[in-house]
């Protein structure tokens, strides 16, 4: 197999990211995202590609001063177990460190994968009450999932909330 590269996403990658996302949305593994939302978040994404074709992606969303979330981590089925997920996580962690983040959150069914990469399941509240009250004001569903709010419970059933200290 040829070598793949991991790089920051460009706006021209959004349709490819959407194509990677759709099968997982259909299987109810990930929530769907409108193209407008993906274009608006292009700067959060890194992609893995080979010969100009996307084989994986992941996003880093800043939630608070020291806290980010790994979102939309996808590796195409035919590229699973080739180190693509590990390379994407490494790229996102490098971005997180460059931004001054000290912790990364994820909400996932892939507990074993994230555990291998230093994440651990978390309990109810992992931020102090002042930060919690500020985060409650966020309209972002990912923040609501991090806070484990009741209105997002149907979206998170079966998922594990995990955290990694960088």
- Distance in angstroms (rounded) separating the CA atoms of residues 36 and 50: 25
Return the pLDDT at 2: 65
Sorted by sequence, the CB contacts under 8 Å of residue 120 that are 6+ apart come out as 162, 163, 164
Return the pLDDT at 36: 95
Q: State pLDDT tens for residues 78-107.
A: 999 999 999 999 999 999 999 999 999 998
- Distance in angstroms (rounded) separating the CA atoms of residues 41 and 53: 20
- Give the range among 36-40, 108-112, 150-154 with minimum mean pLDDT: 150-154
Q: Token pair of 87, please?
A: 């390379």
| Burial classification of residue 38, based on how many CB atoms lie within 10 Å of its CB (0-12 exposed, 13-18 middle, 19 or more buried) | buried
Q: State pLDDT tens for residues 112-158.
A: 999 999 999 987 667 777 776 777 777 777 676 776 665 555 555 66
Return the pLDDT at 142: 67
Return the pLDDT at 137: 74
* Distances from the Cα of 65 to the Cα of 38, 96, 114, angstroms: 23, 11, 22
Return the pLDDT at 146: 73
Q: State pLDDT tens for residues 44-55.
A: 999 999 999 999
Beta bridge partners of 53: 50
Q: State pLDDT tens for residues 2-30.
A: 699 999 999 999 999 999 999 999 988 88
């Amino acid at each position: 197999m040829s070598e793949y590269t991991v790089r920051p996403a460009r706006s021209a990658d959004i349709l490819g990211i959407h194509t990677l996302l759709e099968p997982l949305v259909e299987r109810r593994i990930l929530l769907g995202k409108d193209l407008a939302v993906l274009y608006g978040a292009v700067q959060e994404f890194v992609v893995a590609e080979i010969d100009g074709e996307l084989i994986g992606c992941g996003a880093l969303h800043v939630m608070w001063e020291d806290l980010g979330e790994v979102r939309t981590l996808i590796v195409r089925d035919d590229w699973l177990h080739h180190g693509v997920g590990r390379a994407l996580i490494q790229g996102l962690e490098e971005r997180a460190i460059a931004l001054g983040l000290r912790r990364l959150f994820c909400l996932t069914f892939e507990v074993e994968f994230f555990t291998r990469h230093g994440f651990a399941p978390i309990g109810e509240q992992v931020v102090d009450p002042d930060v919690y009250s500020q985060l409650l004001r966020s309209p972002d569903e990912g923040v609501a999932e991090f806070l484990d709010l009741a209105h997002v419970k149907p979206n998170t059933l079966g998922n594990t909330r995990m955290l990694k200290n960088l």
